[in-house]
A and B are shown apart, each in its own frame.
Chain A
Amino acid sequence: MIQLNDIRKVYQMGKLPFEALKGIDLTIESGEFVAVMGPSGSGKSTLMNIIGCLDTASSGEYHLDERNVAGLSFDQLSQVRNRKIGFVFQNFNLLPYATSFENVELPLLFNGKSAKQRKERVRELLDKVGLWEWHRHRPTELSGGQQQRIAIARALVNEPPILLADEPTGNLDSNSGREIMEIFQGLWEAGKTVIMVTHDNTVAGYAKRIVRLLDGRVENGRKSA
């Protein structure tokens, strides 16, 4: 469960402070499928970064599975990211010189798994996204849709309960986009919490709940709202 209480984020832009998030109250239950929407500059990315533990809030409380992660150091948050959160990016963010196998293996390397465990796990995930036969290929040899599936495999390899996706279909044609969304749909049905940022209403349609941001505030934050 994700619980945000009065989360604020202030950036210092020159001499003037800029408040990107102005007190976010948001609760996302385990197993929800949430789309975060809003115009650019509304604070979507900042919010996702904070939820993903890539960034820390200036003030407020963030409970991730009952644990307050607001005060943790960067390296402590690294472990949280490694075990609890899988990231899927708009531009895939695969390592260009590494093979599909190595890309998927990457989070396992920071989780201290043995070579044998890593191999089994990577194989399992690549099979799941249907790309084992491409495991020796590099990202440049794959289509966009395939690259994103590799990225999803990477996001899932440590079995995190939460999947964060930032415009996952933004760089894909509509067919590939639909494939990706069907994978997300399947993952949600299998019990994952899926949170994604999108502009696209069709994509947002897969989500069971839409959180709308405007000027650093949630328009419909509480679940009851």
Chain B
Amino acid sequence: MIATFFRNLFRDLVRQPMRTILTLSGVMWGTFAVVLLLAFGNSVQKQSMKNMRGMGDRLVVVWPGRTTMAHGGFTKGRPIRLTTEQVYGLTDHVKGIAQIGPEFRQGRRLRHGREEFNITVRGVGTEYTDLRNTIAQNGRFINKIDLERRRRVCFIGDTLAKDLFKQDEPVGGRIMVEGVPFTVVGVMKKKIQPSNYGGNRDTQTLFMPWTTFTALYGSKYVNNFIYSTAPGVDSAALERSLRSYLSRKMGFSPKDTDALFIWNQAEMLEQVNVFFLAFNIFLGMIGSFTLLVGGVGVASIMMVVVEERTREIGVKLAVGAKRRQILFQFFSESLMIIIMGGILGFAASAFLIGVLPAEKIRDYVGVPQINPLVGIATVLILLVIGTIAGIAPARKAASTNPIEALRS
């Protein structure tokens, strides 16, 4: 019975090969579009998330600013300033901080041999490497002893290393920072970081111990500080308690967002996630519309097929076919075209994704792949459209009047 069913189904499909192929290609093209759009949407999302983590993970950046509200007897316009000790001391007063550290920043002129650059110089602590994902490719990051002894050592971004040292080994090399010699102890591992807050990106930055920085340049107060939220801690709640603690301690209104400007990566990621959800739904819809056109093609062709096969339907009804059997026959025929087109479209998109030069596009759109999510979404869209496309012709076939059909 099943064998007969498939034999007949297949014969019905190959009876008009050109028509079947054309109908099939509509569905194939639609599936191709859906799969590719979803796969790329997905990979762009993943890559963007990855790029954002280049800055750090669960990272919060805090800039002390200037008050804009009068508070506790102080007039507005008062600068809020924190020392390194105050920054490190925050962990005692605010719970839920995993790591915290100061950040000093200035633009300075560097020289190595004949190469000279104006570049961002940052004074940081040992925790900076974890907070900001500045991981050593060669050598090491700034350590405790560097800080204690105010050593003139530096850790440099990979692009800066190439610009200054060309083919030479940077680690152990010497850089003059406005006449003061520094020894390079490490070079950062290449990472993707689309932007930075203030100054050059990490790849073009020179990092030195904050102790050295303050001694050389006479800074007392941090430009900003950074911390990471401990796992399992709500970063928004932590942000609020930090603000309320500092407002009490430094005497500014907790509502005064200019006194303390906070950038929270978790919030940012949330927004980006929402954006990408919308983005992917949008892409899926564009693909679905393309597929819908293919589905409409199947439906209209099947309408013609039903018309042409009225007599066959009449004969089948006369010899004892039930209406639902006829319905099923034509519905499965439409569905089969959709499924075959879907498989072909899937295969075509898988092939295209397979031959894409992943290396060249990865930094921009990530590596598109047909993951289960994309697969399930596509199959669902296909089934919905297949059902819509199949139901009208099948109903038409099942409602054939056998008397009229046999008379023709």
Contacts and interface: CB of A to CB of B under 8 A. Distances in A.
Interface of A: 49, 52, 54-55, 74-75, 78-79, 81-83, 87, 89, 93-95, 97, 106-107, 109-112, 114-115, 154, 158
Contacts of A83: 320
A52 B402 CA distance: 11
Contact of A54 (B4, B15, B402): B402
Nearest to A75: B322
Contact of B319 (A49, A110, A112): A110
Nearest to A151: B315
A114 B4 CA distance: 11
Contact of A111 (B4, B320, B403): B320
A155 to B, nearest CB: 8
Nearest 7 Cβ contacts at the A-B interface: A82-B320, A110-B320, A107-B319, A75-B322, A78-B322, A93-B315, A81-B320
B111 to A, nearest CB: 87
A162 to B, nearest CB: 13
B323 A154 contact: no
Nearest to B7: A102
Nearest to A82: B320
A13 to B, nearest CB: 15
Interface in B156-183: none
B406 A55 contact: no
Contacts of A81: 318-320
12 contacts: A49-B403, A52-B318, A79-B320, A82-B319, A82-B320, A93-B311, A93-B314, A95-B315, A106-B316, A110-B320, A110-B322, A154-B319
Contacts of A106: 315-316, 319
Contacts of B3: 115
B206 interface: no
A223 to B, nearest CB: 28
Given A78-B323, A110-B321, A112-B1, 6 more contacts: A54-B318, A87-B318, A93-B315, A106-B316, A107-B320, A110-B316
Contacts of B321: 78, 110
A157 to B, nearest CB: 9
A43 to B, nearest CB: 13
A109 B4 contact: yes
Interface of B: 1, 3-4, 11, 15, 311-312, 314-325, 402-403, 406
A185 B77 CA distance: 117
- Residues of B contacting A: mostly: helix
A101 B11 CA distance: 15
Instruction: Output the residue of B15, B319, B406 with the most chain A CB within 10 A.
Output: B319
B406 A93 contact: yes
A109 B319 CA distance: 10
A74 B323 contact: yes
A112 B3 CA distance: 13
Nearest to A74: B323
A116 to B, nearest CB: 12
Contacts of A112: 1
Contact of A115 (B1, B11, B320): B1
Given A106-B315, A109-B4, A115-B4, A75 B320 contact: no
B318 A109 contact: no
Instruction: Output the residue of B1, B318, B325 with the most chain A CB within 10 A.
Output: B318
Given A49-B403, A109-B4, A110-B325, A93 B318 contact: yes
A63 B309 CA distance: 33
A89 B407 CA distance: 9
B315 to A, nearest CB: 5
B97 to A, nearest CB: 73
Contacts of B318: 52, 54, 81, 87, 93
Contacts of A55: 403
A87 B314 CA distance: 12
A75 B311 CA distance: 18
Contacts of B406: 54, 89, 93
Contacts of B320: 78-79, 81-83, 107, 110-111, 158
